[in-house]
Structure 1
């Protein structure tokens, strides 16, 4: 997401000819989009995305269990 944000800002600055970005070549301005594609490819192929998804699901599951235990009075209150 960071690369996309940088890419959009770069395109706006290049199109409006603001600052030093106006003198850059278009391929340099569009490079963050290529980096975003490479990042997504790597994250999917390495299992990084799936790992983060599983961690999020486990956290939500544990929060749900804790909430139910607290409602039943089974959760120890922490000092």
Structure 2
């Protein structure tokens, strides 16, 4: 997401011809979009994306379980 944000900002600066970016080569301005694509390929290939999604689902599941236990009065007491 970072690369996309940087790419959009650079693209706007180049298109509106603002600042030093106006003199830059188009390849340099569009490079963050290529880096974002490489990041997505790497993240999907290594399982990073799936692992993050599973961690998020596990966290939500544990929060639901804890909430239900609390509602039923099964709150664990602190050990002495």
Which residue number corresponds to residue 43 of structure 2?
43
Q: Scaled by the length of structure 1, what TM-score is found?
A: 0.95
Which residue number corresponds to residue 17 of structure 2?
17
Gaps of 5+ in 1: none
Q: Provide the C-alpha distance between the structure 1 equivalents of 2:14 and 2:70, rounded to a whole number of angstroms.
A: 55
Q: Provide the C-alpha distance between the structure 2 equivalents of 1:40 and 1:25, rounded to a whole number of angstroms.
A: 25
Q: Scaled by the length of structure 2, what TM-score is found?
A: 0.93
Q: Deviations for 1:23-51, whole angstroms, at most 9, x for unmatched residues?
A: 10000000000000000000000000011
Q: Provide the C-alpha distance between the structure 1 equivalents of 2:77 and 2:4, rounded to a whole number of angstroms.
A: 44
Q: Provide the C-alpha distance between the structure 1 equivalents of 2:12 and 2:69, rounded to a whole number of angstroms.
A: 52
C-alpha RMSD over aligned residues:
1.0
- Matched residue count: 78
Q: Deviations for 1:29-78, whole angstroms, at most 9, x for unmatched residues?
A: 00000000000000000000011001000000000000000000001266
4+ residue stretches of structure 1 with deviation over 4 A?
none
Gaps of 5+ in 2: none
Aligned CA distance change for structure 1 residues 67 and 17 (closer, same or farther; 3 Å) = same
Q: Provide the C-alpha distance between the structure 1 equivalents of 2:7 and 2:41, rounded to a whole number of angstroms.
A: 18
